[in-house]
Amino acid sequence: MENLVYIALFAPLVGSLFAALFGMQKKNAITGIVTSMLLFISFVASAILFNHVMTVGPVHVRMMDWIMAGDMLIPFGFLVDQVSVTMMTVVTLVSTVVHIYSNGYMDHDKSFNRFFSYLSAFVFSMMVLVMSDNFLGLFIGWEGVGVCSWLLIGFWYHKEDVSREVNPSISPSWAANEAFIMNRIADLGMLIGIFILYWNIGSLQYDVVFAALPNLSDGILVAAAVALFIGAMGKSAQFPLHTWLTDAMEGPTPVSALIHAATMVTAGVFLVIRANPLYSMEAVHWVSYFIASLGTFVAIFAASMALVNRDLKRIIAFSTLSQLGYMFAAAGLGAYWIALFHLAAHAFFKALLFLGAGNVMHAMDGELDIFKMGGLKKVMRWTYLYMGLASLALSGIGIAGIGFAGYFSKDAIIETAFNEHTYILWVILVVTAGLTAFYSFRQVFLTFHGNERYHEIGAHPHEMYTYVLIGMSPLAILAVIAGFFQDWFEHFVTALLPEYHMSEHTHHLSWILGLIVIAFAVGGIVLAYVKYNRGLKRNEKLEHSFVYKLLANQYYIPILYEKIFSQPYAALSKFSWAVLDQKVVDATVDGIGHIIKSTGDNTRKIQTGNLSDYLRWMAGGALLLVVIAFVAFKLSQGAN
């Protein structure tokens, strides 16, 4: 089993390094094939490990001692238990599909090989993140995925910056930097959390840390929980660190599907789930409640912005944000297995949605404005089917125990909110479910139904390559059927995660609760159908209303951030450059140079070229030496 762990972990790294060999060359189909194959191998290994964990139990390998300094001992170990093996399987499965997809999607890109190198490196980092058996290894993976995310968002770094009105993300390189910097801010919090744990416990191994938690004082527990959650907020793009995720859509679509929907952004949820012993502590219950509240807030906050957005990928990005909010709500309320379940289900249908959006984008020559599409179902039947399925899954359609993946996972979260008597959260989550259904199908209808507006921009849509569509099918199947594994999954992960059961009261009411959610979801879909099925009818009055503008501009938060943080910081930097650097630092350095130069200028008179003068200097020096020796000798004698 140990070898399988290493195969699952290092196969993506091998693929990445292999692709990197061809990094600067022009497209070489073999890099795509080899990395996809290696990812598939990694997936198979993860699947076997999944089976092993299910039948036998967790695998814990210790590869080597990593940091040994004094009392500090941090081994480089990997833990494959119920939680990490779930993540591994999800990550490798989605990655494999995305790799296969990218073979088609990136077909015409000149940096084809580089792309695969980055993508596989990302998968490797993600595997380190989920498989590590200690917080520091997790942090390494955490930073690794951050770097890969940066590389991939800025993959088309050569694009010029444009104004915010033209493209809200300004440029790929700008978006990449935004994502990276925002994550740095959050990572500082995470690092502090890790430090707090290490100082107070003396170890970073999960098992040691969790065993020692009851001995810690409340203040320390709260501090560690808050600090770690700040890290999770950054990676999972929770408010107020959420702006980077939509801008990250500047990256190639497979990247959005893999990193910014299915895997990396869920790392924050994973962290909270992983650290569930900490977040379940009585002392930190209000932190957990805050997590749930923030998650709920982000769910509706992001969904509201998705309502009016016109950019295909951004809508899905907001939807991702919203669904991450759901996950945090579940994790904050103590239903860790439900959060993990939604994480996995979401990974499938959201990746599918993104890949479908990628197909559309590919078909429309990079056009993403859904107002300029319409009627695409005729030419893109399979993509239509996939995106329709994914949207149904996202909306949580289903009834009486039969439904799409999202029906099971999201309903469970909403039910949890009711069960915890947090009715406000429950109401918000139900409303959000309706909004989710509306914006998902607004997008589907605007893209695939109605009049064919794409003729106006002269696009000639065409279906994606067949092998790509076949490659996407596993996700489609899982988006449909993943929900049926709910009970089985619960049984599997609650071996490690705390069990969570609905109370009797909730249980009795669950069919009503389910009906309410379904009513909202169907209501959303119907509304979208009524409004958009016939084609786009723009409502000028609505589009100029304050609320619409507020939502379309993301509540003006990016602009606010720019005004509050970026511009003062730029001013400060300019000040530092003009005053501190040029007038203080440079002046000091120049001054030293001037002193030396003037010393040289003044002392060059010594260099008369006359031997006599040199001899005099020499004699003077000799005299000085003798005097020093004599005085020193006398002093040393006096000291004795």
For another protein, the binding residues (CB under 8 A) are 604, 606-612, 615-616, 619-620, 622-623, 626-627, 630
Q: 423 or 633: whose CB is closer to another protein?
A: 633
Query: Least distance from C-beta 580 to another protein, angstroms?
Result: 39
Query: Least distance from C-beta 591 to another protein, angstroms?
Result: 24
Q: 423 or 614: whose CB is closer to another protein?
A: 614
Query: Least distance from C-beta 595 to another protein, angstroms?
Result: 19
Integer angstrom CA distances of residue 576 from 567, 568, 592: 14, 12, 21
Residue 306 CB neighbours (<10 A) = 25
- The set of residues, in sequence order, having a beta carbon less than 8 Å from that of 511 and lying 6+ positions away, is 400
Helix axes 82-105, 267-274, angle to 10 degrees: 170
Query: Least distance from C-beta 600 to another protein, angstroms?
Result: 10
Q: 217 or 608: whose CB is closer to another protein?
A: 608
Query: Least distance from C-beta 616 to another protein, angstroms?
Result: 6
Query: Least distance from C-beta 184 to another protein, angstroms?
Result: 54
Query: Least distance from C-beta 635 to another protein, angstroms?
Result: 14
Q: 511 or 614: whose CB is closer to another protein?
A: 614
Query: Least distance from C-beta 634 to another protein, angstroms?
Result: 9
Q: 537 or 604: whose CB is closer to another protein?
A: 604
DSSP 580: I
Angstrom distance (rounded) from CA 404 to CA 42: 27
Angstrom distance (rounded) from CA 577 to CA 570: 10
The pairs formed by 32-37 with CB atoms below 8 angstroms and a separation of 24 or more are: 32/99, 32/102, 32/103, 32/106, 32/112, 32/116, 33/103, 35/99, 35/116, 35/117, 35/119, 35/120, 36/96, 36/99, 36/100, 36/103
Q: 163 or 637: whose CB is closer to another protein?
A: 637
Q: 214 or 620: whose CB is closer to another protein?
A: 620
First to last CA, the chain: 73
Among candidates 215, 220, 230, which has minimal Cα distance to 197?
220
Query: Least distance from C-beta 613 to another protein, angstroms?
Result: 9
| Dihedral over Cα of 530, 533, 534, 537: its sign | positive
Query: Least distance from C-beta 65 to another protein, angstroms?
Result: 57
How far is C-alpha 478 from the chain's CA centre? 22
Query: Least distance from C-beta 607 to another protein, angstroms?
Result: 3
Angstrom distance (rounded) from CA 99 to CA 119: 8
Integer angstrom CA distances of residue 241 from 9, 185, 231, 326, 492: 30, 9, 10, 17, 33
Residue 107 CB neighbours (<10 A) = 14
Angstrom distance (rounded) from CA 83 to CA 493: 6
Q: 163 or 610: whose CB is closer to another protein?
A: 610
The DSSP code sequence of 614-634 is HHHHHHHHHHHHHHHHHHHHH
Angstrom distance (rounded) from CA 340 to CA 344: 6
Q: 473 or 608: whose CB is closer to another protein?
A: 608
| Dihedral over Cα of 163, 168, 173, 175: its sign | positive
Q: 26 or 605: whose CB is closer to another protein?
A: 605
Q: 470 or 615: whose CB is closer to another protein?
A: 615
Integer angstrom CA distances of residue 243 from 28, 181, 232, 328, 501: 35, 11, 15, 18, 35
Task: Let me know the angle formed at the C-alpha of 594 by 588 and 596, rounded to the nearest 5 degrees.
Answer: 110
Q: 477 or 619: whose CB is closer to another protein?
A: 619
Angstrom distance (rounded) from CA 279 to CA 330: 12
Query: Least distance from C-beta 622 to another protein, angstroms?
Result: 7
Q: 70 or 609: whose CB is closer to another protein?
A: 609
Helix axes 218-235, 285-308, angle to 10 degrees: 20
Count CA atoms within 13 Å of residue 317 on its CB side. Answer: 28
Residue 498, SS3 per DSSP: coil
Query: Least distance from C-beta 582 to another protein, angstroms?
Result: 34
